[in-house]
Chain A
């Protein structure tokens, strides 16, 4: 059991290892303790500032969410260029929906997912429903459901990311409308059966990726404190009497 403590990061071990081992010696070990210790090690790696000696958090941990969003935007843009030139017409939409969901989830760090789990669950549930229904529905309805899933994916994840980046509500709405309207306009010909859509039409999806790049840059430059970091004025913001 004491070997499991080696899973924790060095900073955490410097601060907590001795008392943690003493705690493990004081109580009978259970299988759940092993699971919980491993889970705690993962948490300690995700939040290294927890074991920092001072109150100043590591700036790199603040930049991780922004860098992930930046990577998501760049991957999206590269993917769009790839399907515009290399993928056979008619095979692109499904991969885009799945791909968008994956990259957006990757760019939402664990602490944010914990704080906004309900909204994320709604978005993912709606995407799943669209995918299942589109598999069962007649072909005429399939296109609409695929487009709906696509829009839910883009709209939901982009909204969550812009909330995460602290973008004001006006700018958030403009970003959301612009990045949905253009791909939607691109999707209309496909929905009404005009195929193939041209290479140029696929490139209309690029602004969505570029929006993520901008969000990522903003988050990376400004930093994005995690929920474990103390507020600037803890007494005023923490204590809200009932």
Chain B
């Protein structure tokens, strides 16, 4: 996890999953949870979800929309989209480097 989300401590990884989930469009809490479980393969607890959502909202990476019934959807902001893109680019570079080294290409 690199710096921008890494500063969120134990919420860094859940935050990245949430940002990736919201990249596909606005979602409310339960939809985010099920989507994250699909992406990561492991469930995310409600306390962790709302701890991460509050941090992301506070940092301006996501914003809350008007509630539908009691379920409030969230969507990615422009800053959030830029941040998640930078995070994924960074992870992509890391993956490429790792694969190149496994294939024996010189550093």
Contact = CB atoms under 8 A, between A and B. Distances in A.
Interface of A: 12, 16, 18-24, 26-27, 30, 32-33, 35-41, 43-44, 49-52, 55, 111, 114-115, 227-230, 234-235, 238-242
Interface in B1-17: 2-4, 7-10
Given A26-B30, A37-B46, A239 B90 contact: no
Scoring A16, A19, A35, A230 by chain B CB atoms within 10 A of each residue's CB, the highest score goes to: A19
Contact of A240 (B3, B29, B72): B3
B52 to A, nearest CB: 10
B86 A239 contact: yes
Given A22-B29, A114-B9, A238-B4, A228 B58 contact: yes
A104 to B, nearest CB: 20
Contacts of B8: 227-228
Nearest to B12: A114
Nearest to A110: B9
A12 B51 CA distance: 10
B99 interface: no
Given A36-B46, A40-B48, A227-B7, A20 B55 contact: no
Contact of A241 (B28, B43, B86): B86
Nearest to A116: B9
Interface band, chain B: 35 or more
A38 B9 contact: no
B45 A18 contact: no
Interface in B58-86: 58-60, 67, 69-72, 79, 82-83, 86
A240 B4 CA distance: 8
A115 B9 contact: yes
Contacts of A39: 45, 47-48
A242 B1 CA distance: 12
Contacts of B59: 228, 230, 234, 238
B106 interface: no
B22 to A, nearest CB: 15
Nearest to B5: A238
26 contacts: A19-B70, A19-B72, A20-B46, A20-B50, A22-B70, A22-B71, A23-B46, A23-B49, A30-B43, A32-B45, A36-B45, A36-B48, A37-B45, A40-B46, A40-B48, A43-B51, A44-B51, A52-B58, A111-B9, A115-B7, A227-B7, A227-B8, A229-B58, A230-B58, A238-B59, A242-B93
A108 to B, nearest CB: 13
B20 interface: no
A228 B9 CA distance: 10
B39 interface: no
A40 B10 CA distance: 12
A38 B50 CA distance: 12
